[in-house]
Chain A
Amino acid sequence: METHAASHDMTHHENHIHHHEHPKLSFIEKYVFSMDHKVISKQFLFTAMFMAVAAAIMSTLFRLQLAWPGHAFPVMHYFLGDKWAKGGILDPNMYLGLVTIHGTIMVFFLLTGGLSGTFANLLIPLQVGARDMASPMLNMLSYWFFLIASIIMMISLYVETGPASAGWTIYPPLSALPQAIPGSGVGMTLWLTSISLFVVSSLLGGLNYIVTILNLRTKGMKMTRMPLTIWALLITAVLGVLSFPVLFGAAILLIFDRSFGTSFYLSDIYIGGQALSQTGGSPVLFEHLFWFLGHPEVYIVIMPAFGIISEIMSVNARKPIFGYRAMIGSMLAIAFLAFIVWGHHMFVSGMNPFLGSVFVFTTLLIAIPSAIKAFNYITTLWKGNIIFNPQMLFVIGAVSTFISGGLTGIILADSALDVAVHGTYFVVAHFHIVMGLSAVLAMFGGVYHWFPKMFGRFMNKKLGYWHFWLTFICAYGVFLPMHFIGLAGVPRRYFNNDLYPAFEKLQHLNVIISVFAIIGVLSQVIFFVNFFYSIFKGPKAEQNPWNANTLEWTTPIVPEHGNWPGPLPEVYRWPYDYSKPGKDVDFIPQTVPMEEGEMDEGEHV
């Protein structure tokens, strides 16, 4: 089936009605193997939601062990059976397996595939005024690679020797040697297969996003009239295209070391009574390759969140986002710097300390554009006219957690301080607050906000309020105490924290953390019930329910293939004319022409 964009020259003939020339699509073509970006975005969302539930269950299980070590839990046995939870007590190898797969799923499948995949696919064509992505075929493939990668990752939980268990960072030699830990057998092979396919999915998607944004903007949609969501998704895609291939390279070298006797990462190893023959390799090479992706990856996670926050905040504060150009500039600065800070994950790796100090410098530099964004968000609220739709609560929560988590990053960026807390719960608290809280809260906000666009209905706001406050309070309840445990020297990835008298004094914090975690995870049921109920029975939405300016709200309530039944819209102004003085309505869609003598703030006069 030919793609729209390929068969029609999109840029030149948008003044006449666009006719659909192909026959009616079958159910499979419309809803399963769909090439429509809106269907693909929902496919990403549903798959990511499923994966997130699985990963959340995993974290609940290992939090039970951490708060009440050695206690028998029937639920542990229910999920893990006799093999991995004999008598209801978690097996130490499976503990590491759950921790590994939890991290892998959350970082890659939820926060990259789920966040970028859902919102880039949904919003890019709609907000730039295109019929669909530049290549709907590659877009469809990007989802199906994502699904296959997800399935393989889930299958890896069920193999006899267990899933990959070397942490989501899978450093060799632990991840290279099945003799070192059972999960480094078949489980690790499946992990590598899954992630390789995931990288393919990301690249296909990312290339599409970039090309669509650069080439398929509608008439009048200059780069400086694009909503910040699009800027964010563009920059995210560029980050991904440049950094994921390096992870792929790291994985290939690891596959070779595991299966073909090479020694990229291995040297001087004695295991199982045998001196292995590999010499000359270095695990530190893997760390460099991994973190060269790993650091940009966290910005790939947070950037779409930035875009979503900007959009939802301006709509619901009825005010332009403060400092549109500064927001773009700061995202560009963050993206550039993201490539030269990876070594701050490696201060204790044994690498040359001078190299470490270079990374300290660049990492603290990256704090500056991040701070600017936070200040701009706060100023957007100042003297606003704030409507507290659930999505607004979520993005305010996302800003709060970005501030909290970002500030502890300052400690970790400082190598001399990092060596006191690297690998402890301090790090775990930091990255969960910025990724698990900030990005996830923004993602929830995005779901509530664009739900009418996806499904033509509203989600229930009362349930939304409960969902937000329970999630937000439990989230801080989990991760705030965790900082103290880390500062007290408790390492991460420890099966049991109460073997050491020194840690006993803080064991009560482990209990508090696990209790909040359980309540927090259960609170998500409210969201799921609301989400699925509202898809079918939510109150019907109108065309522009939030009185927003961006182009997605100018399509029919639930747009069909091709998005606009008539010609593509033309854009005359930037998207942030909210509460513009001298107007009687507090919003002016981008499709409304400028009046005589009206200044376009987008021109930054």
Chain B
Amino acid sequence: MINLLAYLALVLALILVFQLMRIYQLSAELKGKHVGKADDNDNRSQGRVMLIFVFVFFAGLIWLLFDVRGKMLPPAASDVGVISDNVFMFNWVIIFIVFFITTFMLFYFGYRYKKQKDSKAYFYPHNDKIELIWTVVPSIALAVIIIYGLSLWAKMTGTPDTKALVIQLYAKQFDWTARYAGADNVLGKSDYRLIDDASNNTVGMDSTDAAGWDDIMVKGEFHIPVNTPILFKCNAREVMHGVYFPHFRDQINCVPGITTELHFTPTITTDSMRKITHDTAFDYILLCNRVCGSGHYNMPMKVVVDSPDEFKAWMAKQHPFFSHLYDMHHKQAVATAMK
């Protein structure tokens, strides 16, 4: 019953609106005003609204800029992230200058040159010189932007430090596994056909590869030592996922069938960042940033940046995945050394 009444109300509202439009139209015609074409009164009022709008627009933008202060990301916590924030700022300065000038001119001209009474337009079809100027000047600005940006890109994507700590980030629906390469800093071979969740072999580690016997897998959170270059090798099990570290200003997709790489040096420990942000609950985070299914929004992994000692202590508490093979090998090595 209520539905029927709602529909009836909707239909009556539409009829009401139509009748109002009809009344407006008739009265406008009686007054000699045109219903469809703007007259000088419209030009004046809309022209004024143009000018009012641009000030309201700028005020709104400035309000937003102030409102978000302290709510955005804390200072970048990686070597490349710090440079990234500088490149960002450089870009923003140029962008905002261009934005304010061109937007103001657009709306101001709308206001200033509104047709009123006997006003006339100025027949100004072209000016090649000015076209040249506003081709060359943006080109120069963009060239500077490109050079600055690409120098950072080269740093971000260039050859990683040979001593970088190797960590695999393995994504699946809907969680992450971080695999450390152990003392040899070499990840053991893995194959998707060896995956066996029942025995926690999430990434399909191959037990015949001795390089993998010291590999350590963790879920839920992983640790990295500050001021140490880290090389992430990223994989995905079934669909594309995305490694995204907002605080380190970096990301890369995880692609089934390919190993992709990401590297940077973290520069601020979790403890320090907690002090900087005045937030004892602050944590770095790894977010999935490539839509991967219904749980895409809910597969974070905590990232902890430790001091070198804290990191050593944390690693000492972890156990290799092939701990029996590792122990056997380790015992053998000790026995050999003792001979």
Contacts and interface: CB of A to CB of B under 8 A. Distances in A.
Nearest to A462: B24
Given A174-B292, A350-B258, A579-B123, A396 B50 contact: yes
B120 A385 contact: yes
Interface residues of B, number: 114
Contact of B43 (A167, A350, A388, A417): A388
Contacts of B115: 318, 385-387
Interface in A377-422: 377-379, 381-390, 392-393, 396, 399-400, 403-404, 407-408, 410-411, 414-417, 419-420, 422
Nearest to A465: B46
B32 to A, nearest CB: 12
A281 B251 contact: no
5 contacts: A282-B257, A396-B107, A495-B298, A500-B287, A529-B14
Most buried by A among B73, B102, B249, B293: B293
A273 B238 CA distance: 11
Name the 5 nearest CB pairs between A and B, nearest first: A458-B36, A489-B246, A267-B257, A353-B157, A350-B260
Interface of A: 92-93, 96, 166-167, 171, 173-174, 177, 179-181, 266-271, 273, 275, 279-284, 317-320, 322-326, 348-350, 353, 356-357, 360-361, 364-365, 367-368, 371-372, 374-379, 381-390, 392-393, 396, 399-400, 403-404, 407-408, 410-411, 414-417, 419-420, 422-424, 452, 457-463, 465, 469, 472-473, 476-477, 480-481, 484, 487-489, 491, 493-497, 499-502, 505-506, 509, 529-530, 533, 537-539, 541, 545-546, 576, 578-581, 586, 601, 604
Nearest to B239: A174
B17 interface: yes
B145 A410 contact: yes
B126 A604 contact: yes
Interface of B: 14, 17-18, 21-22, 24-25, 29, 34-38, 42-43, 46-47, 49-50, 53, 57, 60-61, 64, 68, 70-73, 80-81, 84, 87-88, 91, 94-95, 98-99, 102-103, 105-107, 109-110, 113-115, 119-127, 130-131, 134-135, 138-139, 142, 145-146, 149-150, 152-154, 156-158, 173, 192-193, 195, 197, 204, 237-240, 242, 244, 246-247, 249-253, 255-258, 260, 281, 285, 287-298, 300
B293 A360 contact: no
Nearest to B172: A270
B262 to A, nearest CB: 9
Contacts of B64: 480-481, 484
B139 A385 contact: no
B242 A348 contact: yes
A423 B21 contact: no
Contacts of B247: 489
Nearest to A458: B36
A94 to B, nearest CB: 9
Nearest to A181: B293
Contacts of B121: 317-319, 383-385, 578-579, 586
A378 B109 contact: yes
Contacts of B139: 368
Given A419-B250, A539-B25, 11 more contacts: A268-B257, A269-B238, A283-B255, A367-B138, A375-B134, A388-B110, A404-B103, A458-B35, A476-B60, A481-B64, A489-B247
Contact of A92 (B84, B145, B297): B297
Contacts of B134: 371-372, 375
Given A275-B192, A420-B84, A356 B153 contact: yes
B27 to A, nearest CB: 12
Contact of B146 (A364, A377, A452, A476): A364
Contacts of A493: 291, 296-297
B106 A539 contact: no
A323 B285 CA distance: 51
Nearest to B114: A386
Contacts of B73: 487-489, 502
Contacts of B43: 386-388
A353 B138 contact: no
A319 B122 contact: yes
A403 B99 contact: yes
A382 B113 contact: yes
Given A388-B43, A420-B246, A461-B42, A180 B126 contact: no
Most buried by A among B153, B156, B158, B300: B153
Contact of B95 (A407, A533, A538): A407
Contacts of B119: 385
A505 B67 CA distance: 10
Contacts of B68: 484, 488, 506, 509
B101 to A, nearest CB: 10
Contacts, number: 377
A207 to B, nearest CB: 33
A364 B139 CA distance: 9
Contact of A408 (B84, B95, B152, B260): B95
Contacts of A495: 294, 296-298
Most buried by A among B35, B50, B87: B35
Given A174-B240, A403-B103, A491 B138 contact: no
Given A494-B297, A580-B123, A586-B121, A385 B113 contact: yes
A173 B173 CA distance: 12
Contact of A319 (B88, B123, B239): B123
Most buried by A among B36, B106, B123, B287: B36
Contact of A174 (B94, B145, B293): B293
Contacts of A460: 21, 24-25, 35-36
A344 B78 CA distance: 24
Most buried by A among B14, B50, B130, B246: B246
A375 B149 CA distance: 25
A158 to B, nearest CB: 19
Nearest to B279: A501
A169 B113 CA distance: 44
B238 A386 contact: no
A384 B106 CA distance: 12
Contacts of B250: 419-420
A156 B285 CA distance: 37
B36 A541 contact: yes
A393 to B, nearest CB: 6
A505 B71 CA distance: 6
Contacts of B53: 469, 472-473
Nearest to B250: A419
Contact of A403 (B50, B102, B135): B102
A279 B149 contact: no
B124 A357 contact: no
A319 to B, nearest CB: 4
B47 A488 contact: no
Given A177-B239, A458-B36, A460-B35, A269 B192 contact: yes
